[in-house]
Amino acid sequence: MSAGAGEAHGRCHCGRVRFVATFPSRFCAHCHCASCRRAHGAAFVTWVGFPSAQVHVTEGAEFLATHESSHETYRRFCRHCGTKLFFESARWPGETHVVLAAFDEPVDRAPSVHAFYAEHADWLPALRDPP
Ligand SMILES: [Zn+2]
Ligand SMILES: [Zn+2]
């Protein structure tokens, strides 16, 4: 269960879809874009980016559904419980962005960036400047 294991497991809310991601990740960022906000129903979404080859669905792949939220941008979610898990886009080829909140175990870095902060919800309290 430690980050030293070199990987972290995660799952959707209902547990039908389970995955493992192998370190090192590439980044961990809070995304404030309007698309993430609406798709997740949240002020912002915290993503951990991995090379796609390091992210494996270990159970419930048949429950994963895909929504093309913008051109060549795909959000994958559990079609039983609706939990969003993965984001892939032609804009970041070869990368899979995984929702940090879906992990059951620590990942190898803390969030360090506020992405698309210019689009942030105007009802979000002011945040400190990014590190
Ligand atoms: Zn589920
Ligand atoms: Zn976003």
Domain assignment present for 110: yes
Ligand nearest, relative to CA of residue 39: 2
Helix, strand or coil for residue 26?
coil
Residue of higher predicted confidence among 54 and 123: 54
pLDDT at 1 over 50: no
Q: Are 48 and 92 in contact (CB under 8 A)?
A: no
Ligand nearest, relative to CA of residue 75: 2
Tell me the CA distances in angstroms from 70 to 31, 88, 113, one per residue in order.
16, 11, 23
Ligand nearest, relative to CA of residue 37: 2
Ligand nearest, relative to CA of residue 47: 2
pLDDT value at residue 93: 96
Ligand nearest, relative to CA of residue 46: 2
Domain assignment present for 127: no
CA 49 to centroid of ligand 2, rounded, Å = 12
Domain assignment present for 104: yes
Q: Which domain holds residue 11?
A: 3-119
Q: Say which amino acid occupies 110.
A: A
CA 5 to centroid of ligand 2, rounded, Å = 29
Domain assignment present for 90: yes
Domain count, the chain: 1
Give the pLDDT confidence of 96-115 residue by residue, as tens digits: 999 999 999 999 999 999 99
Domain assignment present for 26: yes
Give the pLDDT confidence of 82-93 residue by residue, as tens digits: 999 999 999 999
Domain assignment present for 12: yes
Give the pLDDT confidence of 2-47 residue by residue, as tens digits: 445 799 999 999 999 999 999 999 999 999 999 999 999 999 999 9
Domain assignment present for 131: no
Residue of higher predicted confidence among 102 and 127: 102
Domain assignment present for 31: yes
Return the residue matching tokens 């995304």: 31
CA 58 to centroid of ligand 2, rounded, Å = 25
**Which helix (H) or strand (E) covers residue 35, if one does?**
helix 34-40
Domain at 67, CATH number: 3.90.1590.10
